Structure 1
Amino acid sequence: MKIHGIEVKGTNVDPETRCKHYSSEKDIIAIKFPCCQTYYPCFQCHKEGADHPALAWKKEQWHEKAILCGKCGAELTIIEYMGCNARCPKCEASFNPGCRNHYHLYFEN
């Protein structure tokens, strides 16, 4: 599905990046995976849709834009996303604060 002109792959993706696995009001980000440079709403969508294992972003890559706000279409760097207190710095939409529990799946520690 194209969201703000950007392709987001996954299962049952809605116009704000929610998916089959995460569909609360605040589940409005997609993450670009470094292994395929493709946005997915979550690690489970990547596991179901990609033909390869997911890789995490290395710390030296955290300056790259890899987070898509499903509300306004802003692309954030990983550093911006980690420092935004679960709120889009561009449109102020609230992100799910529980996503930080999965950082280890997306971002190298």
Structure 2
Amino acid sequence: MCKHILNAQVSIRSPCCKQWFDCAQCHAESKKHELAQSMEMVFACKKCKKCFRKDMNEFDDSDEYCPHCDNHFVLEAKEPKARLEVEGEDIRKDARMIKDERVKGKEQVSVWEDEGQAVRLG
């Protein structure tokens, strides 16, 4: 799972060390050498788990899809952004006073209100 690109659809095999990475930044973080440039790329689709090659010299619109499962792997990258949230009281800590209106409880009926019980009592 790539921490740089949240919607990575394929893994890329680096031509220099023959290992799989989700993005070039993942390669740079784990290896000390530069990523070798190559016009023939090897991809592994994360949807169908099959590998395929693409020649970047002849790359067109139809090559943006996995040839095995038609997964669209050329997408605009979604990168994680820092968020600042205000912490409040957590309802999960003490939820005794919260009543869920969707759950119906048993109706409380006394012995004297139930007609079947009154006959048995005498």
Question: Which of the five TM-score ranges fits, normalised by the shorter chain?
Answer: 0.5 to 0.7
Stretches of structure 1 that go unaligned for 5 or more consecutive residues are 1-12, 14-18, 100-109
Query: Which residue of 2 is the match for residue 9 of structure 1?
Result: none
CA–CA distance in structure 2, aligned partners of residues 23 and 96 of structure 1: 13
* Larger RCO, structures 1/2 (Cα 8 Å, 6+ apart): 1
Which consecutive aligned stretches of 4+ in structure 1 deviate over 3 angstroms post-superposition?
Answer: 80-85
Q: Give 1:6's aligned residue.
A: none
Question: Which of the pair has more CA radius of gyration?
Answer: 2
Deviation at 1:78, TM superposition (A): 2.1
Q: CA RMSD in A?
A: 2.3
- Give identity over the alignment, percent: 27
How far does residue 52 in structure 1 lie from its aligned partner after superposition? 1.2
Could you say which residue in structure 2 is the equivalent of 1:71? 47
Cα 1:93/1:22, change in 2 over 3 Å: same
Alignment of 1:57-68 (within 5 A): 57=38, 59=39, 62=40, 66-68=42-44
Structure 1 or 2: larger helix share?
1
Return the match for 2:13 from 32, 38, 55: 32
Uncovered stretches (5+) of structure 2, i.e. residues with no partner: 78-122
Q: Does 1:46 align with 2:27?
A: yes
> Which secondary structure state, in structure 2, belongs to the residue aligned with residue 90 of structure 1?
coil
